[in-house]
Structure 1
């Protein structure tokens, strides 16, 4: 079966897609607006925005986030500053070289540091009057050296990891394939396109897929792949619907 056969027609009709826009920061708001305009044009909803709290938000930027909420977007936590000042250890160095570059801030922290960062991230939304978010996604989907059991004591109810969606209270992992489009070199284009092809096949079997959009994806080499994927699947869902019967997620 070809990739096209695996993800079009009847095969694609039953797939539910989770769409998220990553790295929402003051400096990326123009790109986020452009992405949301495209999603509106394609009839894609709901959309989850992964917000970086420590990126230097002004009152005007906070109002823009409230405007996104008014348009139906869900806000989620996404690290604190979305960068690291140092690389710690071989594993982090390899992750930085091939996947995350300098954004996987969890990998530079120990367990206590990660717990503090996640708690601080959640508190920021409440302090800004944006409500309490339920979803947390570590930068580059890299949670770092913290046991899953420790997440139950933190305020987010679910976490998006590289392999899927984790319920913090139960520790249950819901595997969901992931597609990405942040290809700014020829090598990354080849690797990410192959990765996306594989995960569309997995989605055809499992019925769920994640479409992770980064702010500059519409300007990069896989922009047309992204547009095709937005039109490819049968329906869209929110993260709270993963693993829940009849769309009613319960941890």
Structure 2
């Protein structure tokens, strides 16, 4: 004897495939219309140089402050790519009297970053230990030992600040001047000491204004970065529902 169990709802075979088709179409429409999450579309490439003395010893301290650099320039949808650190043996450059002598030595739009012990020239003459760094729109910048002696974590924004000069930003233009702005002169800005205080989080330090972002992104040292789209979780779920609905519709149609 065959026992038939009553379903808690009536399944109408003529109704279900049509309804499933509507579900599939709706899900597909949402899948096509849902926005994709795009990665930053601009990038810069930096070649770091560690300067040592003529004998290849007594080398300058190096750090790319990668987490801070990444977060600071993410405000401008700008990816900062670092090439491998290269060593230069030059006692003269290790304690540089003329910033221009460091120069732009890499090809094309690659920016040069010089790690030196001390720097005595940056649009004027400075004494020992007075400069944290210097940058020029001609394609290179320098970071000194003072950055690493500033605190336990260092002056984490100097690299990003000097990069800003390479990208055309000054101390008082494009909205700079506030003590929370990345490009304000070092003696007047507050330096983040924790990643959580970099804008847009925490204390909101190392800010970039809309005008600064526009200017930096227009620099000839920036280029388009490869575009990668990643479906949002909701979009992936809708795609799964669409496939499930399509499969059920086919099964019902076959049963008929």
Which TM bucket (shorter chain)? Answer: under 0.3
- TM-score, normalised by the number of residues in structure 1: 0.26
Task: Considering fraction of residues, name the structure with more helix.
Answer: 1
Larger Rg: 2
